[in-house]
Structure 1
Amino acid sequence: MASITDPNMADRFTSAMEEMHNKQSKTFGEMVEMTTELCQSHRQFVKSALDTCLKKCKDDEMLFETIQTYKRELVQKSASLKEKKRAISEMVSEIQQKEMQKDDIIQKIEKLKEEQTKRKEIIVSQNKANKDRLRNLQKARVVFQDHLGLEMRLVRGEKLQLVFRNINPSDQDSAYVVTMGIKDGSYQIMSSDPVLECLSVLESRLQETNNLPAFLANIRKEFISQARR
């Protein structure tokens, strides 16, 4: 061990301390440099992580906004779909109602056709009956007009007046009148002048037998009987 009295001891100690100081300074410098690098690296990492986080947040916000937009569109589409379903349901109901109305109209048309056909048949039958009655009237007119002085007058195109003369022996020209017509294919006796109490009975018998000459004969007999009272 060197003696402390060695005159070079101080130089060596100083040199050793400087060397140690240099080594420590170098080590410290390396540590500082390393620390600086680590700090820079850390700052870059933090900055990168922050940028990444910010970008992720922004992307998440955009994604959230997109999701909200999709939700709103989905709500609107659901409402629109519901409205369309309601409109379709109303349309189907209206179509069904119109189909029912159409079926009802078709049934009514068929019924009207049947009624029209029946009315045509009735009209044809009544026309035939009226023609037969007119022929009977014509025959009766010839017989009674030529032999008994019967006169037939058409009143307003609807009514027929039967004017009997040669009833009252004291007044051969005195007129005895029966007014009649044809309704629904049947003879209708409307009035007589003078009034005959049995006129309704004679009318019913005429409608039953359709024998106009017999009816005229019976009417004439009743007028004669009344005139002789």
Structure 2
Amino acid sequence: MTSITDPSMKDRFTCSLEEIHNNHLKSYAEIIDTISELSHNHRQFVKSAVDTCLKKCKDDKKLFETIQEFKTDLEKKKMALKEKRRAISDMMSEVQEKEMQKEDIILKIQRDKEDQMKRKDLIESQNRANKDRLRNLQKARLVFQDHLGLEIRTIIDKTQMVKGEKLQFIFRNISLSDQDSTYVITMGIKENGSYQIVSSDPVLECLPVLESRLQETNNLPAFLANVRKEFISKARS
């Protein structure tokens, strides 16, 4: 066994320590290089992750802004659609109202046409009735004026009950003592075409009965004959 007091032993020990120390330094250097590389890689990774996150945040922000714009646009479109629906509803109500007015106007026109036809029929009926009365008057004139001295006058008196044109029938040859004395009955025609007795001179109490019979029969000559009889009866009583 080599003695520790051997001078070469010290040198070998020193060399061994230096070799170990150098190995350790080399290992430390490798570790430091590895750590430095890992640290650099980590920084690069962190930087990349941060950049990715920032880009993601930016993209997300832009996406949120786009979504908000879509929501705002959608709300505007909803409001516009709501306004259009309200306008369409108002328009439909107006159309329905006009349709109802149109139906009312059509019904009114139809009623007016019917009323016109009724008035036309009434006028034609009144004209026929007036023609019949005119013929009766002509017959009565021939019978009474030519044979019995009856005078027929046309008068217009707006102060009487029956306004417009009236006829006065003036009877003579009634009184035996005075053949020229006159007995008068005044008649008019109502709006419905019927006869109306306005007055008589002298007054005949039975005149309403004779007028009612005239309305029923529309026989004017017979009415005048009966009036003449009543005047004769009154004159000779």
SS in 2 for 1:163: strand
Whether 2:186 is the aligned partner of 1:186: answer: no
Q: Which amino acid letter does the alignment assign opposite residue 219 of structure 2?
A: N
Q: CA RMSD in A?
A: 2.7
Do the aligned partners of residues 154 and 36 (structure 1) sit closer, same or farther apart at CA in structure 2, a change above 3 Å counting? same
Whether 2:174 is the aligned partner of 1:167: answer: yes
Whether 2:200 is the aligned partner of 1:199: answer: no
Whether 2:177 is the aligned partner of 1:176: answer: no
SS in 1 for 2:4: coil
Shift of 1:49: 0.8
Residue in 1 that maps onto 2:49? 49
Distance in 2 separating the partners of 1:171 and 1:15: 197
Distance in 2 separating the partners of 1:172 and 1:36: 166
Do the aligned partners of residues 3 and 215 (structure 1) sit closer, same or farther apart at CA in structure 2, a change above 3 Å counting? same
SS in 2 for 1:4: coil
Distance in 1 separating the partners of 2:167 and 2:150: 16
Whether 2:92 is the aligned partner of 1:92: answer: yes
Give the TM-score taking structure 1 as reference length: 0.83
Give the TM-score taking structure 2 as reference length: 0.81
CA offsets per residue over residues 135-154 of structure 1, 9 Å max, x none? Answer: 22233234433331413123
Shift of 1:158: 2.5
Residue in 2 that maps onto 1:102? 102
Shift of 1:180: 1.6
Identity %: 69
Shift of 1:85: 3.4
Distance in 1 separating the partners of 2:170 and 2:21: 171
Contact 2:152-2:167 at 8 Å conserved across structures:
no
Contact 2:171-2:184 at 8 Å conserved across structures:
yes
Distance in 2 separating the partners of 1:15 and 1:193: 182
Q: Structure 2 regions of 5+ residues with no counterpart?
A: 158-163
Q: Which amino acid letter does the alignment assign opposite residue 155 of structure 2?
A: L
Distance in 2 separating the partners of 1:170 and 1:62: 132
CA offsets per residue over residues 177-229 of structure 1, 9 Å max, x none? Answer: 32222221222222223322111211122222222122122222222322333
Shift of 1:45: 0.8
Do the aligned partners of residues 221 and 31 (structure 1) sit closer, same or farther apart at CA in structure 2, a change above 3 Å counting? same
Q: Which amino acid letter does the alignment assign opposite residue 68 of structure 2?
A: Q
Distance in 1 separating the partners of 2:187 and 2:72: 88
Residue in 2 that maps onto 1:215? 223
Moved more, 45-54 or 19-28: 19-28
Shift of 1:41: 1.3
Distance in 2 separating the partners of 1:23 and 1:160: 162
Q: Which amino acid letter does the alignment assign opposite residue 146 of structure 1?
A: D
Q: Structure 1 regions of 5+ residues with no counterpart?
A: none
Q: Which amino acid letter does the alignment assign opposite residue 137 of structure 2?
A: L
Shift of 1:127: 0.5
